[in-house]
Amino acid sequence: MNSRRIIKHFTGQKIAVLMGGRSGEREVSLRSGQNVLEAIKRQGLQAVGIDAGMDLGTELRNKEIDAAFVILHGRYGEDGTVQGMLEMMGIPYTGSGVLASALAMNKVFSKKIFIEQGIPTPEYCWAGALHDPRSAAHQATDELGLPLVIKPVDEGSSLGVSIAKSQGQAVRSFTQVHKKYGQVMAERFIQGMNVTVGILGYGAKTRALPVLELVPKNEFYDYQAKYTGGLTEFHVPARLPGSIYAKVQQVTLQAHQALGCHGWSRVDAIVDRSGTVYILEVNTNPGMTDLSDLPAEAKAEGMDYDQLVLEILDSARNR
């Protein structure tokens, strides 16, 4: 990465760091955004933080924004909606485009692509807005067995995720998630190592960062474990045999590329006892807080936080 070239390109431009927003991940996005904003300013570049609310288009226009660093998590920011508005306004922005963002946010559609591309992912059942969640829960336990991982179709940060160990729990969780989020899915539970891999770059320069192993003290890597210091043990590089380690990087990179992602992402996976790598999801705007995974992986590669932010910012120049 040529930091000087990136800084030279953006010198004289006003960069908006889009943070906050309207999703359930708002608070995490604000923390990520503040870190990113400070990093951009440390490079001597002009940047302003914007809380992406209903009047975002007006703010971007009034502040005469030249480029956007999108660090919104979840709905209305990581799902292609803000990306579409930026496309319409002609403002270059970081990360994946409209289609890739929408596909990655929707776990059902991303799974369909993984399956079509031969990328391993846990078997699943789902219930859309017009489906009966109780019937879907019974179908899931019949087809996938127990325990089941139950989650919203289009949320991040493990919001609404639970592990059902009985049919009764499955029915209750399906019903609750369906009522709150509109769509719900169940995955076959995979026993194994939780890993996550950051992906950086674009085109032929796209690469996988070191593999990070997650050992949560909670039952699984839930919202609390993700954003509370001391609740998750991190190992980077992950404690895997060399051949499996390389396979994790290869498969996670394939998942990123299969969805057409650009610039950066974080791919979550599980490695079972046989060494099979199962892709869980691709996050197109992963966290950039002090406790987030991707900065820790970049650090293991020898990249500090400011360098990481610059490389992500460069994806706005090269779409």
If you ran DSSP here, which 8-state letter would residue 182 be given?
A: S
Question: Which one from 201, 227, 265, 315 is the annotated catalytic residue?
Answer: 227
Q: Name the one residue in this structure whose structure tokens are 């391993």.
A: 120
Please give the C-alpha separations between residue 262 and each of 33, 80, 230, 288, in angstroms, as whole numbers: 19, 13, 32, 17
**What is the model's pLDDT at position 219?**
61
- Alpha-carbon span 225 to 243, nearest angstrom: 29
- Six-digit token string for 150: 């139950």
Q: Answer yes or no: 38 catalytic.
A: no
Catalytic residue check, 4: no
Give me the pLDDT at residue 88, please: 97
Q: In whole angstroms, what is the distance from residue 197 CA to residue 184 CA? A: 25
- The per-residue pLDDT string of the chain (319 residues; one tens digit each, 9 = 90 and over) reads 789 999 999 999 999 999 999 888 899 999 999 999 999 999 999 999 999 999 999 999 999 999 999 999 998 999 999 999 999 999 999 999 999 999 999 999 999 999 999 999 999 999 888 889 999 999 999 999 999 999 999 876 567 889 999 999 999 999 999 988 889 999 999 999 999 999 999 999 999 999 999 997 766 555 555 555 667 799 999 999 999 999 999 999 999 999 999 999 999 999 999 999 999 999 999 999 998 999 999 999 999 999 999 999 999 988 7
Considering the candidates 266, 278, 292, 297, report the single residue annotated as catalytic: 266
Bridging pattern class, strands 184-188 and 124-127: antiparallel
Q: How far apart are CA 35 and CA 40, in angstroms?
A: 9
- 158: closest CA among 129, 194, 123? 194
Q: Which domains does the chain have, with CATH numbers?
A: 3-96 (3.40.50.20), 103-119+191-314 (3.30.470.20), 124-188 (3.30.1490.20)
Residues 240 and 277 sit within 8 Å (Cβ to Cβ): no
Is 266 marked active-site?
yes
Strand pairing partners for 71?
Answer: none
Q: CB of 92 within 8 A of CB of 69? A: no
Q: Which is nearest to 115 in space by CA: 211, 258, 1, 224? A: 258
Instruction: Give the active site residue among 281, 293, 297, 311.
Output: 281
Rounded distance, CA 111 to CA 102, Å? 13
Which stretches of 5-122 are assigned E, i.e. beta strand?
14-19, 46-51, 67-70
Active site residue 283: yes
Predicted local confidence at residue 228, as pLDDT? 55
> How much is the pLDDT for 129?
84
Q: Is 157 a catalytic residue?
A: yes
Max Cα-Cα span within the chain: 60
Whether the CA torsion 175, 178, 180, 185 is positive or negative: it is positive
Kindly name the residue from 96, 283, 292, 315 that is annotated as catalytic: 283
pTM equals: 0.92
Whether residue 227 lies in the annotated active site: yes
Identify any residues that bridge with 93 across adjacent strands, giving them in sequence order: 68
Determine whether 2 is an active site residue: no
Who's near 242: CB < 8 A, 6+ residues apart?
none
Rg (Cα) of the chain, in Å, rounded?
19
287 is catalytic: yes
